[in-house]
Structure 1
Amino acid sequence: MAASDSTSDDSLYPIAVLIDELRNEDVQLRLNSIRRLSTIALALGVERTRSELIPFLTDTIYDEDEVLLALAEQLGQFTPLVGGAEFAHCLLLPLESLATVEETVVRDKAVDSLRALSQQHSATDLENFFVPLVKRLATGDWFTSRTSACGLFSVCYERVSTTVKQELRDSFRNLCQDDTPMVRRAAAGKLGEVAKVIEAEFLKQDIIPMWAYLAQDDQDSVRLLAVEACVSIAPLLSQEDVSNLVMSTLKAASEDKSWRVRYMVAERFTDLQKAVGPALAREHLVPAFQSLLKDCEAEVRTAAAQRIKDFAQNLSPEIQEQVIMTSILPCVKELVIDTNQHVKTAVAGVIMGLSPILGKDNTIEHLLPLFLTQLKDECSDVRLNIISNIQCVNSVIGIQQLSTSLLPAIVELAEDSKWRVRLAIIEYMPLLAGQLGVEFFDEKLNPLCMTWLVDHVFAIREAATINLMKLVEKFGKEWAATTIVPKVVSMCRDQNYLHRMTCLFCINVLAEACGPELTSTHLLPTVLNMAQDGVPNVRFNVAKSLHKLCSVVDKATVQGQIKPVLERLTQDSDIDVRFFANEAMTSLN
């Protein structure tokens, strides 16, 4: 009898431990217990997990949000631990409770887990267990349950009977008309999902009226989500239906009294353009886009400006040039001199993309003056955006048209008093070099690259050395041997020890790009000569450089030239020099 009791007690052990841990005042301990649920379930077995663990968890959902979040995530992966898809429905009850809690992130995670479980239900189980859960949530007293319900309709709709489908459509319609704004917002956010799974005959009958109702809601947070839904709904309709049922509401959204709604229209404008099709976009969306580009709110103008290039590219080829010249370009000219720097920066990032569409003549006559205006803009971000996208124009009109105006802007940025601006133009230099060509670069920009090597800010000097490596990779070793290496080597004789150290840093990054031959004949001798420098900081950097060059040159050079110098440095009077020299020698040995 005692043995029987002992066995019974042992079998209850995991639940007892879990109960004790979940009652502990330490939140972290309770959180760790929830994260070990799968281990406890394996110990219990599938039957006891269904009969004991899941009911226990259902009855104890009153914990901290962090613990509940972990529980919601765990339950979504619990199907194998309760016996497979056949028993997945037993996980619905605790998740239903979690889907009603006050904390949004917990509800969202519970809904995610429920959506995952819905795919593991058979059609029969969906109707017997999942759909009743959706209905309970959709008619719950608290808005929290009704908001959660909105995310569950689309995942079960397609696999239920016709009668149940009608009930789900009616239930979702009620949520769209709910008295609580948070519920209507949730319904608007999921309307696009529901539209994609609903039958075509019910699309106009049910979905479009719901969408139009939400698009005219008194809360702007609901109306802007209706704009999002339009992106999913419009492609499902015929062109005639889009014209008759959608366009007037969409036009009203682009002129909405709330800037947040107009911003959403601008943000999703190219998606809306694709959704309604090219014909309707030409007739209805071009005027709407003009309106957004002229909006009184800078945030809206910025969002619209960022989509100028994509909007133009999505137009039908036969009307692209005409629409840009007559409708878009006049707005762009105003945006280039906008009072808000974010608007100007957004325009500068996309305006170059119009060049391939408009062609050489129109670019030179109409766009080039705008580029030059922005190259002179007081805002460095505007100038950088123009320079970083110069390839679009270069490929259309050639560098000769740009060089006279481009160079002063680059020089001005390169000498900007803000070191971060100088850093940005350095990072664009390899891109510019490839676009402008080696001849133009050598004549106009190469002196700038060498000037950055002696900048008073270390970050600039460091970036300049990386820039040289990328230029060598782009233009080749022969170019490096005649153009870059002699100037770098000459820095070893500079009176400023920081510049001599920069010479070493350059050699470190150039060696691999230049290859063993150029390194052995030009770079290595320079480093070896600097081993006798009077400044310890230079000498220990010589030791570090020699260590790196060992991997580039051949073994004979290492043994005959590098090793003797390192051995001499191991006897240096400075402790740091000895340290790095010994480190290099240890690596060699």
Structure 2
Amino acid sequence: MATMNESLYPVLVLIDELKNEDVHLRLNSIRRLSTIARALGEERTRKELIPFLSENNDDEDEVLLAMAEELGNFVPHVGGVEHASVLLAPLEGLCSVEETSVREKAVESLGRIGSQMRELDLVESFIPLMKRLAAGEWFTARVSSCGLFHIAYPGAPEALRNELRTIYGQLCQDDMPMVRRAAATNLGKFAATVEPSHLKTDIISMFKDLTKDDQDSVRLLAVEGCASLGKLLEPQDCASEILPAIISFSQDKSWRVRYMVANQLHELCEAVGQEATRMDLVPAYVQLLRDNEAEVRIAAAGKVTKFCQILNPEIAVQHILPCVKELSSDSSQHVRSALASIIMGMAPVLGKDATVEQLLPIFLSLLKDEFPDVRLNIISKLDQVNQVIGIDLLSQALLPAIVELAEDRHWRVRLAIIEYIPLLASQLGVGFFDDKLGALCMKWLKDKVYSIREAAANNVKRLAEEFGSEWAMHHIIPQVLEMMNDNHYLYRMTILSAISLLAPVMGSEITCSTLLPVIISASKDRVPNIKFNVAKVLQSLIPIVDYSVVENSIRPCLVELSDDPDVDVRYYANQALQAIDQVMMSS
């Protein structure tokens, strides 16, 4: 009798919990379905658990979503592929619920199960389910059916395939826009499974219906299908069927459709082949770059480089560059920002002469833009131009702008310039750097914004790595150490940070002779924050310097700090002393 109770127990508990008013309890029991199924065994899972779940009429979306997800991984629990069809019933119910996320998860799980099913089971169970959904009274069922055709079609016999294509065609003309949207979204996946002969007839016919839909939300999803369909067709069919649709979409009355075309145009170009691209799509793209809606211009501007890469440079210079020039002074700052983020990539495409003559003036105007994001986007890609035009031209044209940006009132712009300085330094060389940029790097150490001071300290370290310790000893260290006497304690803190970053780069000898004395004298500072930072810096120097220096200089200083009146200073001094003891023990 005990065995009987034990075998009933999992189902009874599940039934009890799934009827509980507490949604969290119901959710937890659904998430434990696989454990319950293992306890029941495959046969009882098929005969008791799955029928029970099919009848479960929970109205909490979170519970239904968890159930849809769990069932997708349930094939092993019901006895493998030969019994997979028992899982279809509960998922079929979930395909009709109102909540989109539940339906999508149910369709995903059905797809996972259907792709494992044997051909016979597909024909006898999966395809009838899909047809029931496609003929469903509620639009939600018909929406769900659209996502299953690409799973069912490859395993269907020919007579059934003809029927499936007909049904999909009907879904593309459904009364409800939501169903037509689902049909448009899934058309590419379905098309990929259809035989080439039917691709050119049935699928293209469905595609044309969707491109002429009176709802812009359906048409813009058809745009997405252009690229995936184009890749399936022969180039000549693509040019005759897809290209006219793209050109028509680029002039669509809805800006959302034109936006989608602008976003996808380079992919569409690749789908229709280069020859057709050069001939027919350049005017369409130019039109999008000059669109009266800023959102469309933003999308088009963001693809300028990618589009130019599939054109020959002469066409790009002749047709696209004039639009780029217009966009650089566009009334929308977001359009200028989108252009600034990619325009640098045009330099390698256009080559040196066109870059110098045509692009450089546009770069410079964007570098002086009143909107900080535009300036930031240009700065972050400067190295792409340098590769094309060389450092001499770059420095003549861009350096004045960089110096101006280094003092920009927006701290994020200053931060971007600082992060770019080491790369610029390596490209400009040491002589040029000393002449023009050295003073700026020191100035940033005293910036009002903490993030700038922190980046400036890191910048000093990276420059020492780039130009070597000898250069740093002459050009950085004296100025940095002199700032340790600044009246403002926050600036003294920054210098301590810079010293701790420089020490590993400069090496033991310079650290001991030049940096350490300054740190030890800072331990007498009147501000506790400086003193506990001295303790931290001294701890970081332990691995760098000789043992004798640790014992003769660092330890006495820390012992003194460990008696400080301030609790934080004592804490960090003791931490550093413990670190010394650990090093001694391990050695």
- Aligned partner of 1:399 in structure 2 is 391
Please say if 1:327 is aligned against 2:319: yes
Shift of 1:11: 1.8
- Aligned partner of 1:477 in structure 2 is 469
- Deviation string, structure 1 residues 252-279 (Cα, Å, up to 9, x no partner): 0010000000000011111111111101
1:348 counterpart letter in structure 2: A
Aligned-partner Cα distance in 2 for 1:259–1:343: 15
Aligned-partner Cα distance in 2 for 1:264–1:341: 20
Aligned-partner Cα distance in 2 for 1:80–1:300: 49
Aligned-partner Cα distance in 1 for 2:464–2:186: 53
- Aligned partner of 1:220 in structure 2 is 216
- Aligned partner of 2:584 in structure 1 is none
Shift of 1:517: 4.0
**Is the CA contact (8 Å cut-off) linking 1:539 and 1:577 kept in structure 2?**
yes
1:81 counterpart letter in structure 2: H
Please say if 1:377 is aligned against 2:372: no
Unmatched segments (≥5 aa) in structure 1: none
Shift of 1:330: 1.1
Shift of 1:174: 1.0
**Is the CA contact (8 Å cut-off) linking 1:360 and 1:396 kept in structure 2?**
yes
**Is the CA contact (8 Å cut-off) linking 1:61 and 1:97 kept in structure 2?**
no
- Aligned partner of 1:13 in structure 2 is 9
Aligned-partner Cα distance in 2 for 1:162–1:473: 70
Indicate which of 256, 263, 266 corresponds to 2:262: 266
Shift of 1:20: 1.2
TM-score normalized with structure 2 length:
0.96
- Aligned partner of 1:447 in structure 2 is 439
Q: Give 3-state SS (helix, strand or coil) of 1:429's partner.
A: helix
- Deviation string, structure 1 residues 242-297 (Cα, Å, up to 9, x no partner): 22222111110010000000000011111111111101101111111101000001
Shift of 1:488: 1.8
Indicate which of 452, 462, 475 corresponds to 1:460: 452
- Aligned partner of 1:421 in structure 2 is 413
Q: Give 3-state SS (helix, strand or coil) of 2:545's partner.
A: coil
- Aligned partner of 1:159 in structure 2 is 155
Aligned-partner Cα distance in 2 for 1:52–1:151: 29
- Deviation string, structure 1 residues 33-63 (Cα, Å, up to 9, x no partner): 1111111111111111111011101100333
**Is the CA contact (8 Å cut-off) linking 2:447 and 2:453 kept in structure 1?**
yes
- Aligned partner of 1:239 in structure 2 is 235
1:367 counterpart letter in structure 2: L
Aligned-partner Cα distance in 1 for 2:6–2:395: 84
Indicate which of 305, 309, 316 corresponds to 1:313: 309
- Deviation string, structure 1 residues 366-423 (Cα, Å, up to 9, x no partner): 2222222222221222222222222222222222223234223223322222323322
TM-score normalized with structure 1 length:
0.95
Q: Where in structure 2 are the equivalents of 1:28-67 lying within 5 Å?
A: 28-67=24-63
Cα separation, partners in 2 of 1:578 and 1:325, compared to 1, 3 Å: same
Range with bigger deviation, 423-432 or 67-76 = 423-432
2:499 counterpart letter in structure 1: I
2:320 counterpart letter in structure 1: I
Shift of 1:521: 3.4
- Deviation string, structure 1 residues 489-526 (Cα, Å, up to 9, x no partner): 22222222222111111122223344444433332232
Aligned-partner Cα distance in 2 for 1:468–1:21: 63
**Is the CA contact (8 Å cut-off) linking 1:61 and 1:68 kept in structure 2?**
no
Q: Where in structure 2 are the equivalents of 1:551-566 lying within 5 Å?
A: 551-566=543-558
Shift of 1:107: 0.5
Indicate which of 533, 536, 539 corresponds to 1:544: 536
- Aligned partner of 1:24 in structure 2 is 20
2:209 counterpart letter in structure 1: Y
- Aligned partner of 1:588 in structure 2 is 580
Unmatched segments (≥5 aa) in structure 2: 582-587
- Runs of 4+ in structure 1 displaced over 4 angstroms? none
Aligned-partner Cα distance in 2 for 1:131–1:431: 60
2:415 counterpart letter in structure 1: L
Aligned length: 581
- Aligned partner of 2:178 in structure 1 is 182
1:581 counterpart letter in structure 2: A
Aligned-partner Cα distance in 2 for 1:123–1:469: 66
Range with bigger deviation, 518-527 or 217-226 = 518-527
Indicate which of 85, 103, 117 corresponds to 1:121: 117
Q: Give 3-state SS (helix, strand or coil) of 2:544's partner.
A: coil
Indicate which of 550, 561, 580 corresponds to 1:569: 561
Indicate which of 43, 66, 73 corresponds to 1:70: 66
**Is the CA contact (8 Å cut-off) linking 2:347 and 2:385 kept in structure 1?**
yes
Q: Give 3-state SS (helix, strand or coil) of 2:523's partner.
A: helix
Range with bigger deviation, 102-111 or 324-333 = 324-333
- Aligned partner of 1:255 in structure 2 is 251
Q: Give 3-state SS (helix, strand or coil) of 2:476's partner.
A: helix
Please say if 1:300 is aligned against 2:300: no
Shift of 1:117: 0.8
Aligned-partner Cα distance in 1 for 2:439–2:259: 45
- Aligned partner of 1:348 in structure 2 is 340
Aligned-partner Cα distance in 1 for 2:161–2:471: 72
Indicate which of 409, 430, 434 corresponds to 2:426: 434
Range with bigger deviation, 67-76 or 497-506 = 497-506
Range with bigger deviation, 568-577 or 120-129 = 568-577
Identical aligned pairs, as a percentage? 56
**Is the CA contact (8 Å cut-off) linking 1:115 and 1:152 kept in structure 2?**
yes
Q: CA RMSD in A?
A: 1.7
Aligned-partner Cα distance in 2 for 1:46–1:11: 13
Aligned-partner Cα distance in 1 for 2:506–2:59: 63
Aligned-partner Cα distance in 1 for 2:505–2:417: 22
- Aligned partner of 1:86 in structure 2 is 82
**Is the CA contact (8 Å cut-off) linking 1:388 and 1:431 kept in structure 2?**
no
Indicate which of 278, 283, 287 corresponds to 1:291: 287
Indicate which of 188, 192, 213 corresponds to 1:192: 188
**Is the CA contact (8 Å cut-off) linking 1:388 and 1:432 kept in structure 2?**
no
